[in-house]
Amino acid sequence: MENDTNVYINAEDGVKRVGGNMALYKKLLTRFAEGNYLESLTTELENGSLEGAANMAHTIKGVSANLSLTKVNEISAALESALKNGKPHDELYAQLKTAAAATIERINSL
Amino acid sequence: MRDLVLIVDDVEINRMILREILIDQYDVIEAQDGAETLDILFKQNVRPTAILLDIIMPGMDGFEVLRAVKNHSETHKIPVLFITAADSDTNESRGLKAGAADYVSKPFNPDVVMTRLDSCISLMRYQTELEGLVEKKTAEVTKTYEQTLEVLATIIEYRSLESGEHIRRTTMLTQIMVNEMLKYPHYREILLAQNYESIVKASALHDIGKIGIPDNILLKPGKLTDEEFDIMRTHTSIGRDIIDSILKTLPDNAMYLKYCREICYYHHERWDGKGYPTKLKGEDIPISARILSIVDVYDALVNQRCYKPPFSYDEAVNIIVEGSGTQFDPNLVEVFLKTTETFRQLQESLQD
């Protein structure tokens, strides 16, 4: 589980960003877990708004970068680019959903 | 006192991370979108030292917020740093072109954020300080210039070339004309580009060249002979020469003295090219001199001179109108006609 968690959350890197304040870092991770980011993205896609979905992927990319959520960050960046360039995005969306669920699960068990 | 930094980002997590990065050195306020930002700046009138601004937000995006900040006189100097997600797009260069001072990328590197913010604030302070110095220096130069003009005006008055009242009236009439011209976009543009306050001040010296005209001609009652009139006309080029020699000793006042020179030299030119000394025509005659020729003639008409009694206001206005398109710039005569009531009131309160 430890090694596995590192794939999703680079805590060492993330905690540095907030001056080594682990309590704050955990609080921010919890905010992310409760943030319904994936749900918002899903809604945009269901409404057929590619621009809205790209913006949401952009938001997820930014916040995951800041929290060092490695996997989510990688996939959301690829998804944003696919959405902006009119490329197929279903597979990336599915990957992001899985990665986000796995990340949130690990955040909740921290 | 600590500087205040405004963080604008729709994602609370990003704001919290920035707050944590900044809080040791700065006071921090947050806004979650463009509307809240404008409310803080323009309703609550909070003036942060710097703004960290996300680009992609629901509602107004970062570019629109930046424009609002840069377009407002009270906030346009506040350095704005864009928050970008690196590698995404061309937002960095677009933001810098739109007037952002710098940008910080997600994921935030605390040292980079602090360094960029610090240097943007220092640069803004330095710039403000320089602007203050330039303003102070300009005020000093203007003062010197005004003193120079006062000295010259005193000389003219002392030598009884013109009465002090004529000089004061000329300045005031020129001011009235300029005020009226500012109502027209065409003239407004020209005048704003030309530092028009200087035209008004320079008008006091239009006849300084008369210093070089002998008294027997200058003060002669009645008509001048052709020969005397030729000498009288040289007051324009004498005026120009006087200003040129002043320019040599006071080069700092070049911009202001430029108008004096134009006015002295060209205020007897005519729109149809039949004036003197250079027979310049139409818009080739500097606008300062075109204004002065109307003002000068009008004031000479309605007041007594050694060679003539005063005309009535209506007669004077008619003479100006008759000269429209021949002696005077027809467009400026049109402007003049809008000012005749103000001119008359001024004349009545300032008779010779």
Q: Which is more confident, A37 or A6? A: A37
User: For chain B, what is the mean pLDDT?
Assistant: 89
Amino acid making up residue B171: T
Mean pLDDT of B336-341: 93
Nearest Cα residue to A85 out of A54, A46, A55 = A54
Nearest Cα residue to B187 out of B197, B195, B175, B178 = B178
pTM confidence score: 0.62
Return the structure tokens found at A80. 């944003």
Residues of chain A positioned with their CB less than 8 A from the CB of B11: 59, 62-63
Please indicate if any CB of chain A lies within 8 Å of the CB of B106: yes
Is residue B301 pLDDT above 70, yes or no? yes
Instruction: Provide the residue ranges of all domains of chain A, joining segments of one domain with +.
Output: 2-108
Please indicate if any CB of chain B lies within 8 Å of the CB of A107: no
DSSP symbol at B41: I
Mean pLDDT of B245-262: 79
pLDDT score recorded for residue B145: 74
Angle between helical axes of A22-33 and A90-108 (0-180°, round to 10): 130
Mean pLDDT of B103-112: 92
Residues of chain A positioned with their CB less than 8 A from the CB of B10: 59
Contact A28 B11 (CB under 8 A): no
Q: Is B273 exposed, middle or buried (0-12, 13-18, 19+ CB in 10 A)?
A: middle
Contact B88 A59 (CB under 8 A): no
Mean pLDDT of B200-208: 88
The pLDDT tens digits of the residues spanning A82-102 come to 999 989 999 999 999 999 999
Contact B311, B301 (CB under 8 A): yes
Chosen for mutation from A59, A74, A85 (greatest number of chain B CBs closer than 10 Å) is A59
pLDDT score recorded for residue A1: 45
Is residue B194 pLDDT above 90, yes or no? no
Alpha-carbon distance A34 to B256, whole Å?
Answer: 68
pLDDT score recorded for residue B308: 79
Q: E strands, chain B, where?
A: 4-8, 27-31, 50-54, 80-85, 102-106
The pLDDT tens digits of the residues spanning B120-155 come to 999 999 999 999 999 999 888 778 777 877 787 778
Q: Which is more confident, A66 or B87? A: A66
Chain centroid to CA B116: 36
Chain centroid to CA A84: 18
pLDDT score recorded for residue A56: 94
Residues of chain B positioned with their CB less than 8 A from the CB of A55: 56, 58
Q: Which of 3.40.109.10, 3.40.50.2300, 3.40.50.300, 3.40.50.10130 would CATH assign to domain B4-130?
A: 3.40.50.2300
Percent over 90 (pLDDT), chain A: 89
Please state which of the ranges A73-77, B16-20, B305-309, B328-332 shows the lowest mean pLDDT.
Answer: B305-309
Residue in chain A closest to B85 (alpha carbons) equals A62
Please indicate if any CB of chain A lies within 8 Å of the CB of B108: yes
Contact B7, B49 (CB under 8 A): no
Alpha helices in B159-277 (DSSP H): 164-181, 185-193, 196-202, 215-218, 226-233, 235-249, 254-266
Please indicate if any CB of chain A lies within 8 Å of the CB of B17: yes
ipTM for the predicted complex comes to 0.90
Considering CB atoms only, which of B11, B21, B24 is closest to A63? Answer: B11
Mean pLDDT of B161-167: 73
The pLDDT tens digits of the residues spanning B70-100 come to 999 999 999 999 998 866 556 778 888 888 9
* Tally of CB atoms within 10 A around B262: 22
Considering CB atoms only, which of B16, B20, B107 is closest to A19? Answer: B20
pLDDT score recorded for residue B337: 95
B159-349 CATH? 1.10.3210.10
Please indicate if any CB of chain A lies within 8 Å of the CB of B55: no
Alpha-carbon distance B136 to B138, whole Å?
Answer: 5
pLDDT score recorded for residue A6: 82
Pairing of strands B4-8, B50-54: parallel
pLDDT score recorded for residue B26: 96
Contact A59 B13 (CB under 8 A): no
Residues in chain A: 110
How far apart are the CA of B112 and the nearest CA of chain A, in angstroms?
Answer: 11
Q: Give every strand in the sheet of B4-8, ordered side by side.
A: B27-31, B4-8, B50-54, B80-85, B102-106
| Stretch (H or E) spanning A52 | helix A50-67
- Inter-chain Cβ pairs, chain A and chain B, closer than 8 A: 60
Residue in chain B closest to A82 (alpha carbons) equals B88
What are the residues facing B1 on neighbouring strands?
none
Please state which of the ranges A35-44, B58-67, B163-172, B258-267 shows the lowest mean pLDDT.
Answer: B163-172
Percent over 90 (pLDDT), chain B: 61
Contact A37, A63 (CB under 8 A): yes
**Distance set, CA A54 to CA A51, B59, B249 (Å):** 5, 15, 67
pLDDT score recorded for residue B351: 61
The pLDDT tens digits of the residues spanning A16-52 come to 999 999 999 999 999 999 999 999 999 999 999 999 9
Contact B241, B271 (CB under 8 A): no
Alpha-carbon distance B91 to B114, whole Å?
Answer: 21
Find where tokens 């500097």 sit: B286
Give span(s): CATH 1.10.3210.10, chain B: 159-349
A2-108 CATH? 1.20.120
pLDDT score recorded for residue B161: 62
Contact A19, B1 (CB under 8 A): no
Is residue A3 pLDDT above 70, yes or no? no
Residues of chain B positioned with their CB less than 8 A from the CB of A68: 107
Contact B17 A80 (CB under 8 A): no
Chosen for mutation from B7, B9, B17, B87 (greatest number of chain A CBs closer than 10 Å) is B17
Mean pLDDT of B199-219: 88
Considering CB atoms only, which of A28, A77, A80 is closest to B16? Answer: A28
